[in-house]
Amino acid sequence: MQNRREFLKTSAIAGAGLSLFRDTALAFSQSPKNLRKFIQPLPGLGPNGIPVAAPNTSRFPGADYYEIEVGQFKHQFHPNLPAATVRGYADTAFGLSASGKPNHGYLGGVIVARKDRPVWLKVRNNLPDGPHPLPVDTSLMGVVNGQNDDRICTHLHGGFVPWTSDGGPHAWIDPRGSVGPSFVPSINGTGVAGETLLYYPNQQTGRLMWYHDHAIGLTRLNAYAGIATGYLLVDDYELSLISQQIIPSNQIPLIIQDKSFVSSAAIRSGYRWGKVGDLWYPYLYEPERWELGSDSDPPAQGIITPPPVPSCVPEFFSDTAVVNGAAWPYLEVEPRHYRFRILNGSQARFYNLQVYYEGQPGEAELSRPGPRMVQIGTEGGFLPQPVALDNQPIAFDPVTGNATRYGLLLAPAERADIIIDFSSVRPGSRLILYNDAPAPFPGGDELVDYYTGAPDQSENGGAETPEPGYGPNTRTLLQFRVGALAGTPDPASLSLLESLAVNRTPSAVLSANVPTDLDPKRAVTVRDLTLNEDFDQYGRLIQRLGTNVSPGLNNQGLPTWGRDYLAPSSENPKAGTVEIWRILNLTGDTHPIHFHLVNAQVLSRQPFDVERFMSRKGQIKFTGAARPADANEAGWKETVRMNPGEATMVIMKFDLPTAPFPVPLSPNPALGVAGYEYVWHCHILEHEEHDMMRPLVVRP
């Protein structure tokens, strides 16, 4: 079957024939034109920025207790846009406003936790009656035609938690007291309709995690609408490095997303979910852009036509860069070292981050690289060694199409803990945090690459040429404004990690707080798993996880290795065992695969024969040598990039956390096996939802 990347190369979307569709709701640039960049400050943590939740330290002795609600409110992303209707978290225990109402703020409800000090989190669903602010596809699993658009499910992404607190897609709650099949009343119930109680033991080293919505059928919409925020876990070792002035105390979160906003033109074209300035989300499955099963070769059988409206889409790339809830903000810094905790919180867009001096106002001068980034951690905590990342544009293998050169490359849900030293930057300078990763990744589509001076795509349903200093733009993300130094210069000790990284000098500064590597010899099995493309019953392109054993024929009459999320579980490791998973990517996308419960180590990536990947003897037909993980992947991760045509080998140990209550087995009958219910999935949210997710059941 032709994969989506090949389809994009040959589709009529690249031709002038799309001029017929320029007045319809094609899912390209939608935002109001000429939004000026870098005219608002970056929101930080605190009362005037991103609200931080306050714990009750007495309710559960030895633990922190939070009460958080999910509600609907207004947030202004840009000074020249009206406030948008969003959804998100708010602290209801101590974070009340002067009016006594929850202190809602975009990305609000940030939790700062301490290693080995548990958190009890009560989440209340306080969403209003009425429709979702974004278009809901009622053909997806879990959705009941407008009757349950207010479901939520809170997942601690990166958490080592009991499955009853993991926030799997079937553990949802609504405001009226209905719950999903994986909600356990004896553990999660509070006796109040629309509430759940979750337990996070925090038995991990320090790291940046985040908690976000995971309700089945609504995850992509709820997360895009704003139901996501940070969860920062701090440990004593990290604090000791700060006190020794080896790691900067200046610590700034950068939550990078892309958003589109409703314009008057979008409303004229038929968009009916919101007013001007509200978040825009695609609602049509457009054969002009994505493959349709009835047009495939051979044609898919049993297709229901046409696709529903609203319809989910294979992926979504917005036109406006948003950092910490602000479109194209600026950050004032001094000539010092700064630590940035970065999260790619986008739906599907990858970022290759670099720093350049500003040339013409608001634009990066790519011939003048700024200070390098030094990466010290990932989503799994510290790296074993710091890694120097030079500012360099992305480059690709001309044969495979995969990226071969990049700076700080982040897929959706990946995090990076980095240090940038502005000490040598002259006060008064301005620099740009820049991105040149194509979307979709790695193949790219010029219609969703928004940058100053880009060709006019309006005849093809895209954007007009963006003007200097204005949007749409997803390449220039953040402006650094370097001011004068206040106080004494930074001590030399803050340059130690960069020196170690540049000189590649082995050191135990970071590795002393990194868990021991897993030994591949201890693995009880090597699983061969697959990433696949198929069509659904409407002929829409979908992505699926699978094994190396075909469950049958797809609706093209061809063998498929993909399995539905609701099919019986096939990945059922025994608690405490070590397994190696070789995950073969048969698609045209790089997929960020996220594992609930466990952290993984990347052992290798190796090219294979996609057309005939398995020999008659059941051996993978590799076409080249394996290469190790990138230097900044050498530690522990729970979201791993898996490239087209490559087998990515990871190793994991399926330990279970301890809890102060007996943890029951999952009651979900769809699993087909008794155990503790987690999931693994792609974190391109449109892929995850349709249908690139599978159960991960840990057997006792």
Q: Which of 489, 511, 533 is the last residue of a domain?
A: 511
pLDDT score recorded for residue 16: 31
For residues 402-420, average pLDDT? 98
Burial 443-477 (b: 16+ CB within 10 A, else e): bbbebbbbbbebeebeebbbbeebeebebbbbbbb
Q: Distance between CA atoms of 117 and 61, rounded to whole angstroms?
A: 10
State the Cα–Cα distance between residues 51 and 89, nearest whole angstrom. 9
Same-domain status, 454 and 600: no
Residue 412 lies in a domain: yes
The predicted structure's pLDDT at residue 341: 98
Q: Which two tokens stand for residue 612?
A: 């005939």
Identify whether 371 is part of a domain.
yes
Residue with tokens 């943590």: 45
Q: d(Cα 435, Cα 140) in Å, to the nearest integer? A: 33
Residue 407 and residue 369 in contact, taking contact as beta carbons nearer than 8 Å:
no
Sign of CA pseudo-dihedral 568, 545, 583, 696 = negative
Q: Strand, coil or helix: what is 98?
A: coil
Q: pLDDT tens-digit profile of 495-540? A: 999 999 999 999 999 999 999 999 999 999 999 999 999 999 999 9
d(CA 575, CA 339) in angstroms, rounded, equals 37
Domain annotation covers residue 540: yes
Bridge partner list, 156: 211
Examine the domain organization and report whether 500 and 612 are in the same domain: no
Winning range, highest mean pLDDT, from 294-308, 439-453, 548-562 = 439-453
Peptide bond into 335 cis (omega under 30): no
Model confidence at 22: pLDDT above 80: no
Q: Are 663 and 291 in contact (CB under 8 A)?
A: no
Q: Which of 599, 572, 593, 604 lies closest to 700, judged by CA?
A: 572
Dist CA 96 CA 304 (whole Å): 49
> Do residue 360 and residue 504 come from a single domain?
yes
In a domain, 307, yes or no: no
Cα separation, 132 vs 150, in Å, equals 7
Mean pLDDT value across residues 233-258: 98
254: pLDDT strictly greater than 90: yes
Asked if 109 contacts 88 with a C-beta cutoff of 8 angstroms, the reply is yes
Range of the domain at 359: 322-511
Which residues lie across from 541 on neighbouring strands? 535
79 is written with which tokens? 């000074």
For residue 561, what are the β-bridge partners? none
What confidence category does residue 93 fall into, taking pLDDT thresholds of 50, 70 and 90?
A: confident
Regarding whether 551 and 451 lie in a shared domain, the answer is no
Q: Is the distance from CB of 229 to CB of 89 less than 8 angstroms?
A: yes
Judge if 382 and 462 occupy the same domain: yes
For residue 537, being part of any structural domain is answered with yes
In a domain, 32, yes or no: no
**Which amino acid is present at 246?**
I
Alpha carbon distances (Å) from 541 to 7, 135, 155, 583, 584: 11, 19, 27, 21, 19
CA dihedral 529, 534, 536, 541 (to 10 degrees): 120
Q: What is the mean pLDDT of residues 140-169?
A: 94
347 and 463 in a single domain? The answer is: yes
Of the chain, the percentage scoring pLDDT greater than 90 comes to: 86
> 535 and 486: one domain?
no
Between CA 272 and CA 259 the distance in angstroms is 17
From CA 668, how far away is CA 660, in angstroms rounded? Answer: 23
CA dihedral over 25, 28, 30, 34, signed as positive or negative: negative
3-state DSSP call for residue 170? coil
Per-residue confidence at 26, pLDDT binned at 50, 70, 90? low
- HEC profile for 281-350? CCCCCCCCCCCEHHHCCCCCCCCCCCCCCCCCCCCCCCCEEEECCEECCEEEECCCEEEEEEEECCCCCC
Q: Which of 136-150, 182-196, 226-240, 395-409 has the lowest mean pLDDT?
A: 136-150
Indicate whether 346 and 462 sit together in one domain: yes
DSSP, residue by residue, 627-686: BPPPGGGSS-BSEEEE-TTEEEEEEEE------SS--PPP--GGG-S-SEEEEEEESSHH
- Domain end residue (candidates: 492, 511, 530): 511
* pLDDT tens by residue, 607-664: 999 998 876 777 899 999 999 999 999 999 999 999 999 999 999 999 999 999 999 9
**203 inside domain:** no
Same domain, 472 and 572: no
Q: Are 194 and 125 in contact (CB under 8 A)?
A: yes
Instruction: Specify the pairing of strand 330-333 against strand 476-482.
Output: parallel
- CATH code for the domain in which residue 619 is found: 2.60.40.420
- Residues pairing with 410 in the sheet: 351
- The answer on pLDDT for 1 being more than 50 is no
Check residue 169 and give its pLDDT: 97
Q: Say yes or no: 450 and 498 in one domain.
A: yes
CA pair distance 333, 371, nearest whole angstrom: 13
Distances (CA, A) of 45 to 158, 253, 340, 477: 21, 8, 13, 19
Same domain, 679 and 608: yes
- Beta-carbon neighbour count of residue 510 at 10 Å? 24
Residues 468, 556 within the same domain: no
Mean pLDDT over 76-89 rounds to 98
Measure the CA–CA gap between 287 and 544, rounded to whole angstroms: 20
Q: Which residues pair with 602 in a beta bridge?
A: 650
Predicted confidence (pLDDT) at residue 458 exceeds the cutoff of 90: no
Between 299 and 18, the higher pLDDT residue: 299
The pLDDT confidence band at residue 9, using thresholds 50, 70 and 90, is very low
Give the number of domains in the chain.
2
In this predicted model, what pLDDT tens digit does every residue of 569-614 receive, in sequence order? Answer: 999 999 999 999 999 999 999 999 999 999 999 999 999 999 988 7
Average pLDDT (261-269) is 92
Query: CA angle, corner 338, sides to 487 and 335, nearest 5?
Result: 45
Residue 159 lies in a domain: no
Are 109 and 229 contacting, i.e. CB atoms less than 8 angstroms apart?
yes
The answer, yes or no, to whether the previous bond of 310 is cis (omega within 30 of 0) is yes
Q: Where does the pLDDT of residue 8 fall: very low under 50, low under 70, confident under 90, or very high at 90 and above?
A: very low
* Size of the chain in residues: 700
Question: Please, which pLDDT band fits residue 3 given cuts at 50, 70 and 90?
Answer: low
- CA-derived radius of gyration, the chain: 24
Average model confidence (pLDDT) across the chain: 93
Domain boundary among 478, 511, 544: 511
